[in-house]
Amino acid sequence: MPVESSSSSGSRQTKQKRKSHSLSIRRTNSTEQDRSGLQRELLEGQDSKLPLSLRTNLLDLFSQIEREFENLYLENIELRREIESLNDRLAADGQAVEGTDLAKGALKTKASHSTSQLSQKLKTTYKASTSKIVSSFKATTSRAVCQLVKEYVGHRDGIWDLSATRAQPVVLGTASADHTAMLWSIETGKCLLKYLGHQGSVNSIKFHPSEQMALTASGDQTAHIWRYMVQLPTPQPVADTTTPCEDDVDSSDKDDADGDAEGPNDCPSVRVPTTTLRSHQGVVIAADWLVGGKQVVTASWDRAANLYDVETSELVHSLTGHDQELTHCCTHPNQRLVVTSSRDTTFRLWDFRDPSIHSVNVFQGHTDTVTSAVFTVGDNVVSGSDDRTVKVWDLKNMRSPIATIRTDSAVNRISVSVTQKIIALPHDNRQVRLFDMSGVRLARLPRSNRQGHRRMVCCSAWCEDNAACNLFTCGFDRQAIGWNINIPALLQEK
What was the pLDDT predicted at 2? Answer: 45
Residue 90: name the closest of 202, 209, 10 by CA. 10
**What's the Cα-to-Cα distance from 344 to each of 101, 340, 370, 405, 415, rounded to whole Å?**
65, 11, 8, 20, 21
- Of 211-215, 355-359, 422-426, where does mean pLDDT reach its minimum? 355-359
What band does 134 get if pLDDT is binned at 50, 70 and 90? Answer: very low
**Is pLDDT above 50 for 131?**
no
pLDDT tens-place string over residues 64-90: 888 888 888 888 898 888 888 888 888
Long-range contacts of 378-384 (CB under 8 A, 24+ apart): 380/437, 381/339, 381/347, 381/349, 382/414, 382/416, 382/423, 382/437, 383/341, 383/347, 384/411, 384/412, 384/413, 384/414, 384/425
Average pLDDT over residues 278-307: 97
Contact 224, 206 (CB under 8 A): no
Give the Cβ contact number of residue 420 at 10 Å: 17
The percent of residues in the chain predicted with pLDDT above 70, rounded, is 72
Mean pLDDT, residues 91-115: 50
How many angstroms separate the Cα of 14 from the Cα of each of 19, 95, 363, 369, 415? 9, 19, 61, 61, 68
Please report the pLDDT score of residue 376 as a whole number. 92
Poorest-pLDDT segment among 258-272, 360-374, 448-462: 258-272
Where in 70-144 does DSSP place strands (E)? none
Q: Is the model more confident about 492 or about 224?
A: 224
Q: Is the pLDDT of residue 133 over 70?
A: no
- CA dist list (Å): 363 to 16, 341, 346, 413, 445: 62, 10, 6, 18, 30
The predicted pLDDT at position 36 comes to: 53
Distances (CA, A) of 361 to 368, 383, 392, 397, 436: 19, 14, 16, 11, 25
Chain segment 240-258, per-residue pLDDT in tens: 444 555 544 343 444 443 4
Residues 392 and 380: their CA atoms lie apart, in Å, by 7
Domains belonging to the chain, first-starting first, are 6-140 (no CATH), 142-493 (2.130.10.10)
pLDDT reported for residue 449: 74
Stretch 338-351: mean pLDDT: 96
Cβ atoms of 285 and 204 closer than 8 Å: yes
pTM above 0.85, yes or no: no
DSSP readout, 403-445?
A: EEEE-SS-B-B-EE-TTT-PEEEEBTTS-EEEE-TTS-EEEE-
Strand partners, 443: 434
Report how far residue 131's alpha carbon sits from residue 123's, in angstroms, rounded to the nearest whole number: 11
Query: How much is the pLDDT for 119?
Result: 55
pLDDT at position 25: 46
What value does the mean pLDDT of the chain take? 81
Report the C-alpha gap between 436 and 403 in whole angstroms: 10
Residue type, 116: S
Tell me the per-residue pLDDT of 397-434, one tens digit each, with 9 for 90 and over.
888 999 999 999 999 999 999 888 999 999 999 999 99
